[in-house]
Every structure is written in C-alpha cells, then in structure tokens.
A and B are shown apart, each in its own frame.
Chain A
Amino acid sequence: MKEHVYDTVYLRGKDFEEGNVLFETWDPNARYAWDTGVGMSRFLQELKAGRLVGAQCSGCCRVMVPPRMFCEHCFLPTDAFVPLQDTGTIVTFSLCYVTWDMIRIKEPQIPIVVAIDGASPGMGIMHLLGEIEPDAVKIGMRVQAVWKPAEERTASITDIAYFKPLEQGGSQ
C-alpha cells in the first residue's frame, strides 16, 4: 500500500526557530462569562458557605454530585438538594509532573477523583490532594476537604483548597 501514501513534507522545530519556513500567527480574542445554571449555582453558593451538596432524583433515588437540575437517567427534574459530608474516598489518582504545556514540575500535583460521603456510591468529583508524600497516596484512602478561610471564598470549586488524608479514626 506504499503507493497510497502521499509524500507529505515533514518540518522540524528548528525550521521555525531559524526562520527557514513561513508562518502566520494569531491570538484569539475570546472571553467568556458562563451563567452557572440552576444546579451548579446552588453547589457553588454552598461551597462559599463551606458545605457540599448533592441533588436527589426521586426516580432512581440517586444522590448526585455535582448536583444537577435534571437526572440524565430518568430525564426528570431532580427533587431536592441534599447536604453531603466534606469527606470521601479516593477512587483514583495521578502524580502529575508536567504542566499542561509540558513543562516539568518538581513536586507533583496530585489530581484525584474523590467519591463524596453522603452521595450515591461512585459519585465523585475531581480535585487535588495535599498534605501527603506522593508515594503514600493509595486508592481507597479516606480524605477530607481543606477549606479556604471563609473570607477568601468566592463560590468556586477552589473554595476547597485541596483534600487531605483523613486522620485515623475519622468519621466514616
């Protein structure tokens, strides 16, 4: 099938750095302001108050986090916001040593999916883990939210600074 492959021209990074090839550049001028919606507005508002909430569907009885205006399974409106705990269990994690544009970082960021206590099983959110040595992180580890001081909260997911390991004997 060699004859069905076009002999495309391969450029090297050097070709650009040394100006051996022509190129045009452009920076997009696009800013967005997203309305946070019915389900998410309440979630963010509660974060500012230092609380996590889910939404319950009376159809399937799931308690969902992040909360939502409608249940995507039953396709019905959710019925109520329900309080959740700020503790949970690590479902999975990574130790990330690069930034998004592939620059190396020394101390890894530790993204996690954390299943939140009080929500239905497996209902997790993504966040970061702190106050732990990278090689000590384990799936199944119990964690708790570390909240920013109330005056620094802005109704954002970052009102939780990160999650940290739950002390032994902590609430289940």
Chain B
Amino acid sequence: MSGNRVAVVGAGMTKFVRRAQETAKELAWEAASKALESCEMTLDDIDAVVIGTAPEAFDGVHMNSEYLSDGCGGWGKPVIRGYVGGGTGVFSPIQGWYHVASGLFDTVLVVAEEKMSSCQPHPQGAFLTIFDNFIERPLEPNLLWIFALEMNAYMNRYGLSKRDIATVSVKNKRNAADHPAALLGDPNITVEDVLNSEVLAWPVQRLDVSPVTDGAVALVMCAEHVARRVTDKPIWVEGVGWSLDSAYWTNRDLSYPTYVEEAARMAYDMAGITEPRKQIHIAEPYDPFDYKELHHLEGLLLFDKGEAPRAAADGVTQRDGDLPVCPSGGLLGVGNPIAAAGTMKVAEIFWQLRGEAGARQVPGKPKRGLAQAWGDLMQVGTVIILGA
C-alpha cells in the first residue's frame, strides 16, 4: 500500500429518484450532511472537499462543480473535481484517498451528485456530444448504439444468449428491493419479464438498462489517527486503480474491457492481492446494463473470459452465493445518477464490511470488497478495494 493509511468512516445518500424536487446543490447537501451525521462530524472537521459530477451538459450549468460546491461543503476549503464520465463515482473516492494518503489533508468529504432530469427532452441529448464530431455525429447516432454494439460483440464472442444475461437484471432489481434509497427495486421480477420487455436497440431491451436518475452520495474519508478517534469500525482503502483506453472505440475489441483489467491489476498490486477470486469477498462492478456486470467481472479477473454468465446462472453472484455481486441492487435496481451511482457502490461496500447493510447484508462477515465504475466512451475503468 502506497502512502498513509486512509479510512472511510462515514457515508450518506439521497434517495435515488426519477426526478427530484431538489436542485443539484440541494441534493449534494442532503447526501453530504447525511454522511457527516453518520460519523458525528461537522463541516468544521473537514479539511478538503472532492466533488464528483458527470457531464455538465445535463445540468446546463458551466463549471458545475463550482456551482455545487456550497452544497458539497466546499465553502472556504480546497476543492477539486475529477471527471471521468461514468467512472467518476469511483474515481472521486480515489481522489479522496490520495488527498489523505499524500499527507496533505487529514479529513476529506467526497460528494458525488447527478441530476439528469433537468435535460430535456431526454439527457441523451447531452450524451450524444460524446460521439466523434466528424465521422459519428453526422450519422445522427443514438447513445444506446454503442452499448448495443458492445453487448452484441460480447454475446457473439462467447455464444451467449439474452437469457444468460437477463439473470443479472433480475438479481439486481430483486436485491434493490431491500435498499431504502432504490428507484427500481422489484422483489418479483423474472427473467421472462426482462426477455419480454420492449426492444430498444437489440440486443438491449428496456429491462436490460438502468434508469435516468437524480441523486447524490457522500463519503467521509480520513487519516488513521482521525479514524481511530471517530469510529471503532474504520473501513480501510487497500487499493486503488484506474486506466483509460483509446477514444478510437471502433478500433478496439469490444468483447473485453482491457482498461478494467489494467485498473484492477493496479488496485490488486497495491492491496497485495494475488488471488482476487479468493481474496475479494464482495464486488460491486458497474452495471448500467446487465451485460456490463458480467463484462466487468471478467475484466476484474474474478471470472475467466466468457465464464461470468454461467457463474451468474449458477447463483454464484447472488447475495448468499460464493461471490455476492451488487448486493446493493446496483445501477439496474437502485438507479443510475451517473457519478453518484459509482459512489453508491463504494458506500455499499462500506456498509457491508461494517455489517450495517440491513436486509441486504451478505452472510459470512465479508472482510474485503471491491467497487468498480466505467465510463467515458466505453474506455475508463476505476477500481477501489476496501477492507475491514
């Protein structure tokens, strides 16, 4: 492990909703104040603030993190925003980690927020600017295309069926039924429901996709000497990693997320993990689409290439399976407010390792968990490993 030891000591979040009455700044405050309250700290105890928020085009606010900063507790403090698209939600806690690991700060408040509902008629209008402005945008693409193209490449490479993949959506939406902040929890959903849902961009159907969501999540991270004072259950950051692939996405093998493997290897090396399949007890890989959970589990080296779907079908990734995956309910179930969604995953690992996940608690007292996010033009992997 590089640098000083860093612990997560508090977490809080808003409910994830399709459309919140609260402004983006108000959502940020709701999550930040809940996180501070959870570890009995106040803003006076915080040295620096890290803000995570994804495309500002969603909000129509230039320099969105400066606008958000008051709600994030940034007034009069060193504030930074990192932005790697959908990968931001795990990257922000990584930034929180290096703020403290470097010795520069003792306490950091990490706040990730997304309000997607403001963008009319659909936030896709803002997303579309990710396509190459010379040779892709003139084709009038739809954001779903790139995911459908990647999903089909993955299915074709390993001969997977839609049924193999739909089990992920069912598991996550069922898990989310036990999450008090969830938008799309459903204890009764079945594989048939997913397979019979509206086809959007084949092979992507309505229930393969996570919803447009508003929400925020915050974490309190601090140095060991502070952590020992504020809690008897600190959760340590054991490893972090991130990697960015080329933006020439049509030149890549879309069936495997190499950048996720690179990020995972960096994090495993830092954490001294040599056998991730034995040493990682719970995983929260990024699941904006059901196939992405499987794709990412393979990139994280937790299953062989093309083998994650079978493991999912065999129940390995259920909450009571050998490797519980997305016990929170993930983006498919809890919701997908882009940057906040990844931080929700880190918060879930925090609560699981502390034994505070309530009805979602995985059995067997897990000691180490991993959260991963993904984004930009299908090109970034961000990974954090937490340990009790």
Chain A residues proximal to chain B, CB less than 8 Å: 1-13, 21, 25-26, 28, 32, 34, 36, 40, 43-44, 64, 66, 68, 72, 91-102, 108-109, 111-113, 122-128, 139, 156-158
Instruction: Give the nearest-CB partner of B124 in chain A.
Output: A100
21 A-B Cβ contacts within 8 A?
A5-B14, A6-B15, A6-B30, A6-B31, A11-B18, A21-B21, A28-B60, A92-B152, A93-B152, A94-B204, A96-B142, A102-B200, A111-B142, A122-B251, A122-B253, A123-B251, A124-B251, A125-B250, A126-B136, A126-B145, A139-B153
Q: Which of B314-371 contact A (CB under 8 A)?
A: 351, 356-358
Q: What separation, in Å, do the CA atoms of A96 and B149 have in the docked complex?
A: 10
Hey, which chain B residues are within 8 Å of A1, CB to CB?
A: 11, 180, 351, 356-358
Q: Is B125 engaged at the interface, CB distance under 8 Å to the other chain? A: yes
Q: Are A13 and B144 in contact (CB under 8 A)?
A: no
CB distance from B343 to the nearest CB of A (A): 13
Q: What separation, in Å, do the CA atoms of A101 and B38 have in the docked complex?
A: 39
Stretch at the interface among B127-135, B226-234, B268-276: B127-135
CB distance from A69 to the nearest CB of B (A): 13
Hey, which chain A residues are within 8 Å of B133, CB to CB?
A: 32, 34
Q: Are A102 and B145 in contact (CB under 8 A)?
A: no
Q: What separation, in Å, do the CA atoms of A75 and B50 have in the docked complex?
A: 32
Instruction: Give the nearest-CB partner of B212 in chain A.
Output: A102
Hey, which chain A residues are within 8 Å of B351, CB to CB?
A: 1
Hey, which chain A residues are within 8 Å of B9, CB to CB?
A: none
* A100 and B135 in contact, given A1-B180, A8-B20, A94-B148 (Cβ under 8 angstroms): no
Q: Is B201 engaged at the interface, CB distance under 8 Å to the other chain? A: yes
Q: Which of B11, B132, B138, B254 contacts A4 (CB 8 A)?
A: B11
Say which size band chain B's interface belongs to.
35 or more
Q: Which of A25, A96, A101, A157 contacts B135 (CB 8 A)?
A: A157
New A-B contacts (11) at CB < 8 Å, excluding given A96-B148, A124-B251, A125-B135:
A2-B358, A5-B181, A11-B21, A72-B246, A72-B248, A92-B152, A93-B149, A98-B200, A101-B124, A101-B125, A111-B141
Q: Are B252 and A122 in contact (CB under 8 A)?
A: yes
Q: What separation, in Å, do the CA atoms of A90 and B302 have in the docked complex?
A: 30
Q: What separation, in Å, do the CA atoms of A82 and B233 have in the docked complex?
A: 62
Instruction: Give the nearest-CB partner of A73 in chain B.
Output: B246
| Nearest 3 pairs of A and B residues by beta carbon | A94-B148, A6-B30, A9-B21
CB distance from B115 to the nearest CB of A (A): 11
Hey, which chain B residues are within 8 Å of A43, CB to CB?
A: 135
Q: Is B163 engaged at the interface, CB distance under 8 Å to the other chain? A: no
Q: Are A126 and B11 in contact (CB under 8 A)?
A: no
Hey, which chain A residues are within 8 Å of B125, CB to CB?
A: 100-101
Instruction: Give the nearest-CB partner of B145 in chain A.
Output: A111
* A10 and B17 in contact, given A5-B181, A93-B152 (Cβ under 8 angstroms): yes
CB distance from A49 to the nearest CB of B (A): 16
